[in-house]
Amino acid sequence: MTTVFVRHEVSDYAAWRKVYDAFRSVQAANGVIAEAVFQSADNPNDITVTHEFATPEAAKTFMQLEELRSAMRTGGIVGAPTVWVVERT
């Protein structure tokens, strides 16, 4: 199991969440098995999301989708996200 963590700030959580929720069908069609969204207790626009995949290759393919980049721009991401990939052992 491969999990991708992405932390980023958004300009408006409610607007970002609408874009994120509308993207679920793309996630499912591209190997996302499970996902979760977390907000910082101190800043509701500081978001961490997790996406789980069956393989590292599936995660890499998903992260390279132009549709994903477009959704992130539309969702109001501020600055560059911090991304890390882990394997469950």
Report pLDDT for 73. 86
Which domains are assigned to the chain?
A: 10-87 (3.30.70.100)
**Most confident of the ranges 3-7, 71-75, 79-83:** 3-7
Residues pairing with 85 in the sheet: 4
CB 49 within 8 A of CB 35: yes
Mean per-residue pLDDT of the chain: 94
The Cβ of residue 51 has, within 10 Å, a number of other Cβ atoms equal to 22
Sheet holding 46-53, edge to edge: 34-39, 46-53, 2-10, 77-87
**Residue 62 half-sphere exposure, CB side, CA atoms within 13 Å?**
28
As a whole number of angstroms, the distance between CA 59 and CA 78 comes to: 23
Tell me what percent of the residues of the chain surpass a pLDDT of 70: 100
Give me the pLDDT at residue 45, please: 97
Stretch 52-73: mean pLDDT: 93
Model pTM?
0.89
Q: Is 89's pLDDT higher than 90?
A: no
